Amino acid sequence: MDRRRFLQNAAFWSLSWSLIQQWPFSAFTNRSIAWAAPRNLFTATVGLGKGQDYPRLVRQVVALVGGMSSFVKPGARVVIKPNIGFDRPPEMAATTHPLVVRTLAEMALEAGASQVRIFDRPCNEARRCYQNSGILPAIKALSNSKVRCEYMDRRKFVTTSIPQGQAMKSWDIYRDALEADCYINVPVAKQHGSAGLSLGLKNSMGVLGGNRGHWHRKLDQNLADLATLLRPTLTVIDATRMLMRNGPQGGNLRDVRINDTILASSDPVAADACATLLFDRTPDEIGSTVMAANMGLGTAQLNRINRIEVP
């Protein structure tokens, strides 16, 4: 190559890279972002996929963020925390889909977990919630003694200090969640009257004892405070059916949108931020997301999140 051709090529590529850096991120697909932007731009990764084969989709999405073996080590004590808060069947979108929960339990066992515990503190009667959500029958069908979908034991709530809490300094928290080697948070994506949306940060309220009504006085900050103490190893958001109105309990199929989508991330704030888009909202509209990001608990800036889609 002669000197003139070399200078022409250098000028062309320099100008092209300059334009790429200035181009709005919305102009690229997620795969194009990953190609066009410098790797050090991203501070979090979120895997997401769409499909009707939920067990397969869960496996594909978790694989995008490193695979279950990245989170569950041989011999680990694993807690899977779904939303089993209401006496509702899966199609009402008030609780996590049982196929999502069962698949995660299977994956944890395959990665070598010594035990898998699944629980929640429901708002309605626990036995009805566990049964009618479909989660208890789905876990029983595994017929594996290492996996248990169990009712929470009041004696296991322990008063726990929250050293980094700004509004909440201590509370009774379920000991099994605190002591787990791997805490997998599995919320269902839904509208919520107080929180705006109920996603990962909100779902962790299910490990709290006492009168949780006090948490709603400064709900957004309290949820961020809890996340300083109980940070999920992995967050998997079930947006297969989304409750768009009258959350968190719902009860009318007209309020449900079938979306067939699942998201996963090791960054709980990034997971919530991306799930917010499914409701045609932005992360800065959800107070808990903003406050958790401000406390350094994860990334809420969409242009700092590497969103990778299942092909």
Residues 6+ apart with CB under 8 A from 18: none
Q: Which CATH architecture has domain 33-309?
A: 3-Layer(aba) Sandwich (3.40)
Contact 114, 235 (CB under 8 A): no
Full pLDDT tens readout for the chain, 311 residues? 454 454 445 444 444 444 434 433 333 333 333 333 455 688 999 999 999 999 999 999 999 999 999 999 999 999 999 999 999 999 999 999 999 999 999 999 999 999 999 999 999 999 999 999 999 999 999 999 999 999 999 999 999 999 999 999 999 999 999 999 999 999 999 999 999 999 999 999 999 999 998 898 899 999 999 999 999 999 999 999 999 999 999 999 999 999 999 999 999 999 999 999 999 999 999 999 999 999 999 999 999 999 999 98
* Radius of gyration, CA atoms only, the chain: 21
Residue spans of the domains in the chain: they are 33-309
Q: Which two tokens stand for residue 241?
A: 């059916």
